């Protein structure tokens, strides 16, 4: 990878850290650029009490001078305000007083596998890092990637297409301003109303609901990624990135699973000359902007199925790790529905993949150099059709 990031921190620790390497020098970057996406991640109908406590802010600790990146690693810190209530339970140093252990395993979480893997007699060390709180650090890193992609005219958005089994009606172009204004990030007013009602019913029943979000990246040039090795394919990288998000259980690019029911004559996107005669385009986009592991110039479309959150206020039957006896699962503060927020995390992960692919393709140590290489590449494509 050329553009890479690492996150550290626990859900109720002092805070979260993102360390980004590979970003070029000369990119304008301010903390407000990052905070904007952090606030979007905290929103969405069905979010829990934690979001009322936290007001996420990313402090830039390194890699930026006088408002521009300098080519060195960028470190970001997001303070956990809830740390004030957890200083003893999450103390780095040993404590003298006894700390309450979590031993009742939660189905659907990392609890069982994590405690068995590491030999813990307490679920707390596992659930703290396995928590989706970690995705705030990803969104921070993704905001830096997004700021970089803005320089190339690449825009990334997400919207919700289903919650609790209620899907939006098929629509043409998406009004992204309406998406941002919707509490469930959905452009269909009728679907939005029913989605909110589904979330309310789940809350009343002590239950949770999942759904599907879609990420769309516009303005992506053809040729990002590669067909020559499995791990260099853009499709591979996108699926891995989206699949790493907490609660995501299924991913598709473009028409995805629906293409399995079609004939080849129906599935593939026909290639034609663009109206200006200076290039190629497709008459449809069932491939989702990726063919043969490379971007093809059409919008990149990735969808993800998000399972219902595993922590229920009416807990499922489980087992106590300490006694081995049946017990109700532990209840940790949680959300009812995270699909709208998960879409924002999806945007971040797609931005990270595309920023890496852009740097891989066009290279350079400064933003100016990468932009120069990018424009020369576009000129070379245009030149093929003007001879």
Give dist(CA 141, CA 73) in Å, integer: 12
For 334-343, what is each residue's pLDDT tens digit? 799 999 999 9
Compute the half-sphere exposure of residue 341: CA atoms within 13 Å on the CB side of its CA: 26
**Residue 384: pLDDT over 90:** no
Does the structure show a pLDDT above 70 at 280?
yes
Helix, strand, coil abundance in the chain, percent, nearest 5: 35, 20, 40
User: Residue 338: exposed, middle, or buried by beta-carbon count in 10 A (0-12, 13-18, 19+)?
Assistant: buried
Higher-pLDDT residue of 332 and 12 is 12
- What integer best gives the mean pLDDT of the chain? 93
**How many angstroms separate the CA atoms of 127 and 163, rounded?**
25
Q: How many domains in the chain?
A: 1
- Read off the pLDDT of each residue in 226-243 and give the average, rounded to a whole number: 96
How large a percentage of the chain has pLDDT more than 90?
Answer: 85
pLDDT(330) > 60: yes
What are the backbone angles phi and psi of residue 17, rounded to the nearest 5°? -125, 135
As a whole number, mean pLDDT of residues 185-198 equals: 95
Tokens 């990246």 -> residue: 217
Residue 243 reports pLDDT greater than 80: yes
Q: Look up tokens 């921070």; give the residue.
A: 140
- pLDDT at residue 210 in the model: 97
Residue 217: predicted pLDDT: 98
Q: Please give the Cα distance from 107 to 330 (Å, whole number).
A: 9
pLDDT at position 279, please? 79
pLDDT confidence of residue 51: 55
Please tell me whether residue 162 adopts helix, strand or coil conformation. Answer: strand
Domain hosting residue 261, numbered range:
4-383
User: Which tokens hold the place of 28?
Assistant: 């304008």
Q: Nearest CA to 51 among 110, 157, 127, 133?
A: 133
pLDDT band at 382 (very low <50, low <70, confident <90, very high): confident
pLDDT-based confidence at 31, cuts 50/70/90?
very high
| Other residues' Cβ atoms within 10 Å of the Cβ of residue 312 | 21
pLDDT above 90 for 53: no
Residue 98: which CATH number? Answer: 3.60.150.10
| Residue 274 confidence (pLDDT) | 78
Alpha carbon distance, N-terminus to C-terminus of the chain: 36
As a whole number of angstroms, the distance between CA 20 and CA 359 comes to 14
Rounded average pLDDT over 150-175:
93
Q: What pLDDT shows up at residue 208?
A: 95
Q: How far apart are CA 180 and CA 40, in angstroms?
A: 8
Structural contact between residues 217 and 155, judged by C-beta atoms closer than 8 angstroms: yes
Residue 278 has pLDDT above 90, yes or no: no
**pLDDT over threshold 70, residue 331:** yes
CA distance 60 to 77: 7
Residue 50 in this model has a pLDDT that exceeds 60: no
Compute the distance between CA of residue 306 and CA of residue 208 in angstroms, rounded to an integer: 11
Other C-beta atoms lying within 10 Å of the C-beta of residue 279: 15
Q: Determine contact, residues 245/302, Cβ cutoff 8 Å.
A: no
pLDDT at 277 over 90: no
Neighbouring-strand partners of residue 300 = 217
Gap between the Cα atoms of 233 and 240, Å rounded: 11
Which pLDDT score is estimated for 386? 64
Tell me, what's the pLDDT at 332? 84
CA distance 330 to 196: 27
pLDDT for residue 46? 82
Identify the CA nearest to 18 among candidates 60, 64, 69.
60
Q: For residue 108, what are its two tokens?
A: 């659907």
Evaluate if residue 387 carries a pLDDT over 60.
Answer: no
- pLDDT, residue 198, reads 97
Q: Please state, in angstroms and as integers, the Cα–Cα distance from residue 233 to each residue in 17, 129, 240, 295, 378, following that order.
A: 29, 29, 11, 9, 21
Helices (H), the chain: 31-42, 50-53, 111-118, 124-130, 135-150, 176-181, 189-204, 234-243, 264-267, 339-362, 367-383
User: Is 70 exceeded by the pLDDT of residue 153?
Assistant: yes
| Residue in 352, 363, 251, 235 with CA at minimum distance from that of residue 300 | 235
Cα 185 to Cα 161: distance, rounded to the nearest angstrom = 9
The whole-angstrom separation of Cα 183 and Cα 181 is 7
């Amino acid at each position: 990878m050329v553009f890479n990031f690492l996150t550290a921190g626990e859900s109720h620790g002092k805070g979260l850290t993102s360390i980004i390497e590979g970003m070029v020098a000369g990119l304008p970057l301010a903390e407000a650029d990052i905070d904007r996406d952090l606030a979007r991640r905290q929103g969405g109908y069905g979010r829990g009490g934690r979001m009322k406590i936290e007001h996420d802010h990313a402090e830039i600790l390194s890699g930026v001078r006088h408002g521009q990146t300098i080519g060195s690693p960028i470190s970001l810190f997001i303070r956990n305000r809830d740390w004030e209530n957890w200083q003893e339970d999450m103390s780095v140093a040993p404590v003298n007083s006894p700390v309450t252990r979590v031993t009742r395993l939660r189905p659907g979480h990392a609890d069982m596998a994590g405690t068995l893997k590491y030999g813990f007699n307490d679920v707390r060390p596992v659930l703290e890092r396995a928590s989706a709180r970690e995705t705030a650090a990803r969104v921070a890193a993704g905001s830096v990637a997004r700021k970089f992609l803005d320089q190339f005219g690449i825009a990334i958005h997400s919207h919700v297409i289903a919650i609790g089994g209620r899907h939006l009606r098929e629509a043409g172009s998406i009004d992204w301003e309406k998406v941002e204004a919707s509490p469930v990030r959905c452009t269909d007013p009728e679907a939005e109303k029913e989605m909110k009602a589904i979330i309310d019913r789940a809350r009343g029943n002590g239950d949770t609901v999942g759904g599907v979000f879609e990420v769309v990246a516009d303005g992506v040039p053809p040729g990002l990624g590669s067909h020559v090795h499995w791990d260099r394919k853009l499709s591979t990288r996108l699926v891995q990135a989206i699949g790493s998000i907490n609660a995501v259980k299924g991913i598709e690019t473009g028409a995805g699973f629906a293409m399995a029911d079609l004939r080849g004559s129906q599935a593939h996107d026909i290639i034609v000359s663009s109206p200006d005669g200076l290039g190629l385009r497709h008459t449809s986009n069932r491939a989702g902007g990726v063919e043969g592991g490379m971007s093809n110039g059409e919008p990149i479309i990735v969808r993800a199925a998000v399972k219902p959150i595993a922590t229920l206020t009416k807990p499922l039957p489980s087992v106590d790790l300490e006694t081995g006896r049946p017990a109700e699962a532990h209840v940790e503060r949680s959300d009812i529905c995270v699909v709208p927020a998960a879409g924002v995390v999806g945007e971040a992960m797609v931005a990270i993949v595309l920023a890496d692919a852009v740097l891989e393709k066009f290279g350079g140590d400064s933003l100016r150099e990468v932009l120069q290489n990018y424009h020369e590449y576009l000129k070379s494509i245009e030149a093929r059709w003007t001879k």
